Amino acid sequence: MVQLSRRVIQMGESKTLAMTRMSRELQSQGHDVINLSIGQPDFNTPDYIKEAAKEAVDRNFTFYPPVPGYEDLREAISNKFKRDNNLSYSPQQIVVSNGAKQSIANAVLCLVDPGDEVLLPAPYWVSYPEIVKLAGGKPVVIPTSVDNDYKVTPEQIEAAMTPNTKLFIFSSPCNPSGTVYTRDELESMAKVIARHENIHIISDEIYEYINFCRKHESIGQFGFIHDKVITVNGVSKGFAMTGWRLGYLGASLPIARACEKLQGQMTSGACTISQKAALKAVSVSPEMSDDLKKMVKTFRERRDLMLQRLGDIPCIKTNTPQGAFYIFADIRELIGRHNGDMTINSSEDFCSYLLKHFYVALVSGAAFGMPECVRISYATSTGLLTEGMNRIHQAIMKLS
């Protein structure tokens, strides 16, 4: 008998990946599944980035790279941080990893000891609490609601702090809500955290470029908080490079060196070809990228379509997402309704009902710390979104 570690037994499976897996299983059985659970752009990586990767292969960039990334890539990321975010990180303060998820895990594992508390505004990305628990930390959830655009307030942050608080982790634009914090809101949050010497911030900015409302703002831009912020980003979302697995962080030098040390024992450096592709990606200003402009325009049009269709369905309440490519819908009015022998007792029940009977895949809000909600991804074609919404509407109309 295999005796697995308590660590892995207690770890929850990623609900987003689980829904994707179940969707693929149903598709393999011949069912016409519309997958609105997946979190990746349905665009191809731009040609100029692919050409850079091909050139890297031809130039034999096929040997072990430095653990924190090639020097030219870290220099380009340093310039990108300054150009786009008003953040000053030297190349030595940047660590390139196998996706932004590894960057987050590196930072958490380098800062959190057993018993330390980590503040997570809900909704949060599914992996945050599991990474915290892997480090022996305790996730402390700060609730929000659709009525306040799923935004946490400085007062809530202050009230949640204890002598054991070590980290505050959040994303803007947010996965799953699409919420985008303004500069003033970020500054107010930063002022609260700056008053507490031993607390750091992990700012997950992977959806930075998919922003419909205004210039992206980084919480690390404020000088009084800069050294307490670990800024995480990558190329997956803004450049349609999910499969390239390339993320990075910028942090104070002691934290960056700690992350490099940890990564050196876990995975070493990220894929060399992906690094050379990423170098090309981050070197192009977003204002100059027609590919990015097209993608953002398409996502905004899809968002507007989804909000219009959801507005026609009773018992569903939404905010207006200002970034990313998700809608986080409050479905609490559906709880207790039934269709024959099946009663909707939770958002997980609702997702199961949709997938099994109407072949539409969503993700339960329980995975994001808000069990009264569901996450709907609109990172797919207008035709599939329209048919998906038709099925969702039909499914809800059958509940009484």
pLDDT per residue over 191-246, tens digit each? Answer: 999 999 999 999 999 999 999 988 899 999 999 999 999 999 999 999 999 999 99
Average of pLDDT values for 359-377?
Answer: 95
Report which DSSP code applies to 313: S
How much is the pLDDT for 248? Answer: 99
Model confidence at 340, pLDDT cuts 50, 70, 90, reads confident
Choose between 1 and 124: higher pLDDT.
Answer: 124
Please determine, for residue 291, whether its predicted confidence score (pLDDT) is greater than 80: yes
Joined together, the tokens standing for residue 127 give 């992996």
Name which CATH class applies to 47-284.
alpha beta
Task: Mention every residue, 6+ apart, whose C-beta is less than 8 A from residue 61.
Answer: 272, 273, 275, 276
How much is the pLDDT for 27? Answer: 77
Q: Mean pLDDT for the chain?
A: 95
- Segment among 7-21, 74-88, 225-239, 284-298 with least mean pLDDT: 7-21
pLDDT tens digits for 219-230? 999 999 999 999
Assign 111 to helix, strand or coil: helix
Please determine, for residue 129, whether its predicted confidence score (pLDDT) is greater than 90: yes
Alpha helices in the chain (DSSP H): 6-10, 15-28, 47-58, 71-85, 100-111, 127-134, 154-160, 183-194, 253-266, 272-283, 290-311, 347-358, 382-397
Q: How many CA atoms lie within 13 A of 366 on its CB side?
A: 11
Joined together, the tokens standing for residue 44 give 């191809």
How deeply is 30 buried, as exposed, middle or buried, from its count of CB atoms within 10 A (0-12, 13-18, 19+)? exposed
Joined together, the tokens standing for residue 48 give 């100029």
How much is the pLDDT for 101? Answer: 97
Dihedral, 318, 321, 326, 329 alpha carbons, nearest 10: -10
How much is the pLDDT for 183? Answer: 97
Q: What is the pTM of this model?
A: 0.96
Model confidence at 342, pLDDT cuts 50, 70, 90, reads confident
Largest pairwise CA distance in the chain: 64
Tell me which CATH homologous superfamily contains domain 6-44+290-397. Answer: Aspartate Aminotransferase, domain 1 (3.90.1150.10)
CA distance 6 to 31: 37
Q: How far is CA 155 from the centre of its chain?
A: 24
Average of pLDDT values for 281-308?
Answer: 96
How deeply is 313 buried, as exposed, middle or buried, from its count of CB atoms within 10 A (0-12, 13-18, 19+)? middle
Average of pLDDT values for 282-288?
Answer: 93
Residues forming CATH 3.40.640.10 domain(s) in the chain: 47-284
Residues forming CATH 3.90.1150.10 domain(s) in the chain: 6-44+290-397
